[in-house]
Structure 1
Amino acid sequence: MTHLPQCFSALSLLLCVPAIALAQPREGLLTGAPDPTAVATKNQAGETVYYVAATGRGVQLLRSTDLVRWEPAGRVFEQAVPDWAQREVPGTQGIWAPDLSYHDGLYYLYYSVSTFGSQRSVIGLAVNRTLDSASPDYKWQDRGKVLESSADTSDFNAIDPALLVDEQDRWLLFWGSHWSGLKMVEVDPATGKPRPGAKVQPVAARPDTKSHAIEAPFVIFHGGYYYLFVSWDGCCDGAKSTYKVTVGRSRTATGPYVDAAGKPMLEGGGTLVLQSDERWRGPGHNGVVTSGALQYMVHHTYDMQNLEAQRILQVRPLTWTGDGWPRVGQPVAQP
């Protein structure tokens, strides 16, 4: 491709988790809690515990029992980036946009490694039997490279992974940022990597915009539809950030996805879910966590009252309209 996108998110409640400030092409790329995803699990006492994985050195993990008070819960990798990924993408300084989910007795953590504005990127996979670091079963196993992209071989950027196991038990990996948009491929449950011969399929794009600014796919199933959440526009410019969340839906996980007006997401469609307001700027790169009958959107945002915190973690209740479209409430806050 000949163009350079304006911004990549691969690079979130009112909490800032301290992080090491690194020399990056864009200030704050690794600080705060950008690009979060979350899971809900139970501890030995039967209490619900939430874990968030977010962009950072080695992938930072956060833990909470109430979605309000969070504490650090370690990192997936001791080093900033696994050796194999450092060799594949020289100059990288941290891991972007982890995707955390639980299937068949394992926690799957897909992660991406890149440098700002580059199409040379890789997606990796690590697995663990538990997220409780005090358990004797706690051990992350890195399965290495899942996907890669480069200007010479790809029309996409291999960042922002998200795994979906659909209602037919197909394992589908979504990913992508800018360039030709978001993609999907079927993966083998035994490896977590693309099935031999599986074809990469497009699922969403913004061909009608100069920047092609779409990224951060995340898919959930609700009420007979699959919902594809995506983030549009500029993620990382503080008070000037234009990031926002939009959504489309489909009867099948592989699409086609369309918005509430019927416009295909492959043609730039997307129904607005969340955007900036006076206090919160650039909300986006969301995940959805389900706990019993309740659902929450986790995402990052800038706080206009504390811009120095960079992109912080934010949690909002997620409900559904009568005609089946997602709606988010006000941020969960300290009582």
Structure 2
Amino acid sequence: MIGLLPVAGYATDSLPGIHDPVIIREKGYWYVFGTGRGITVMRSADRRNWKRLPPVFDQPPGWAVKAVSGFKGHIWAPDIAYVRGHYYLFYAVSAFGKNTSCIGVASNKTLDPDSKEYHWLDHGKVIESVPGRDMWNAIDPNLILDEKGTPWLSFGSFWNGIKMVQLDSSLTQPATPQQWYTLAARSRNPVLPDSVAGDAAIEAPFIFHHNNYYYLFVSFDYCCRGVKSTYKVVVGRSKSIIGPYLDRDGVPMTLGGGTLVREGDANWMGIGHNAVFSDDGNDYLLYHGYDAHDNGKSKLWQEKIRWRDDWPEAVIK
């Protein structure tokens, strides 16, 4: 069992060994999914004490091995949702630093590995980005159903920012005719190659509906650099799921806008790639941060959200 530990004077929770987390509840357990070989899975009854479960895939998906040269099973940034009696797990495979990337999806009737009904059925590729053809990157998926039950997939990292496409009812491919939307972007230096366009560092969308608004959370700046990480979470909101998303000052997120929700400090560097979930009548932020007191290891954070004037604020203990 892995316990959530208070660190460096904070009365908050951290979990060793997780990156790009997302969370969902089934019956009496919480499940966290994260980046890792075959997709990392953790389970907890109380969101404090966690048990590592077997990964989703014990072998790299065959379609992904063919689609991304050099892919050996390390899968990025999953997203989990419960739709029409099944759990849908979206995930990304990519060549690091390139937009040679695909988003796939698998489904299951249950998340309990002890159940006789437990079986992940992989449906393969949902969308793909190709260098030289696409100025977007098919990673960091997030599924949301709008108020009419229509499924939408947001995704993106660097390049020209965060994109969205409507899915068909199977959740395995874009709806037709295809329409693609830009939700958020940061201006970039066109002289720099795509893989190092640091001024365009934006990724990890997560959309959450609260009251009359859709809230688009994204991460600015750099993850994955230990204590040198500069990740931070920002947000904008819109009454339409396809935008435009504006920050608190009215700046469109397509023009680099974003109201700060959470950033690192001397104890935790590079806080980002968040999800939002509800429990016990409250809403919570879930994300990873790099522990400055533990060699920059990536760990899980959970913090309550306070809604002030319909804007989310992290309640830092």
TM > 0.5 between the two? yes
Which stretch of structure 1 is more off in the superposition, 191-200 or 113-122? 191-200
Shift of 1:292: 4.3
Larger relative strand fraction: 2
Shift of 1:188: 1.0
What is the aligned partner in structure 1 of residue 128 from structure 2? 148
Of residues 290, 301, 304, the one that matches 2:289 is: 301
User: Which one-letter code corresponds to 2:69 in the other structure?
Assistant: P
SS at match of 2:105: strand
CA spacing shift, 1:330–1:64, aligned 2, 3 Å: farther
SS at match of 1:185: strand
Shift of 1:305: 1.0
Q: Distance in 2 between matches of 1:330 and 1:303?
A: 16
Q: Distance in 2 between matches of 1:38 and 1:263?
A: 30
* Counterpart check, 1:253 vs 2:238: no
Shift of 1:71: 1.1
Shift of 1:224: 0.4
Shift of 1:62: 0.7
User: Which one-letter code corresponds to 1:87 in the other structure?
Assistant: K
Q: Distance in 2 between matches of 1:290 and 1:40?
A: 10
Which runs of no fewer than 5 residues in structure 1 stay unpaired? 1-12, 17-31
What is the aligned partner in structure 1 of residue 23 from structure 2? 38
* Counterpart check, 1:73 vs 2:79: no
Of residues 275, 281, 287, the one that matches 2:263 is: 275
Q: Distance in 2 between matches of 1:191 and 1:289?
A: 21
Q: Distance in 2 between matches of 1:104 and 1:294?
A: 25
Which runs of no fewer than 5 residues in structure 2 stay unpaired? 1-12, 190-196
What is the aligned partner in structure 2 of residue 20 from structure 1? none
Of residues 167, 179, 197, the one that matches 1:187 is: 167
Of residues 223, 241, 244, the one that matches 2:229 is: 241
**Structure having greater relative contact order (Cα 8 Å, sep ≥ 6):** 1
What is the aligned partner in structure 2 of residue 318 from structure 1? 305
SS at match of 2:149: coil
Of residues 183, 195, 218, the one that matches 2:206 is: 218
User: Which one-letter code corresponds to 2:67 in the other structure?
Assistant: E
Whether contact under 8 Å (1:239, 1:304) holds in the other structure is yes
Q: Distance in 1 between matches of 2:206 and 2:171?
A: 21
Measured against aligned partners, the alpha-carbon deviations of 1:42-72 in whole angstroms (never above 9, x if no partner) come to 1xxxx3x211100000001111121111111
SS at match of 1:194: coil
What is the aligned partner in structure 2 of residue 204 from structure 1? 184
What is the aligned partner in structure 1 of residue 158 from structure 2? 178
- Tell me the TM-score normalised to structure 2 length: 0.90
Q: Distance in 1 between matches of 2:35 and 2:305?
A: 23
Which consecutive segments of 4 or more residues in structure 1 shift more than 3 A? none
Q: Distance in 2 between matches of 1:268 and 1:305?
A: 32
Whether contact under 8 Å (2:39, 2:78) holds in the other structure is yes
Q: Distance in 2 between matches of 1:264 and 1:64?
A: 38
What is the aligned partner in structure 1 of residue 8 from structure 2? none
Identity of aligned pairs, percent?
45
Shift of 1:208: 5.4
Whether contact under 8 Å (1:297, 1:328) holds in the other structure is yes
Whether contact under 8 Å (1:203, 1:266) holds in the other structure is yes
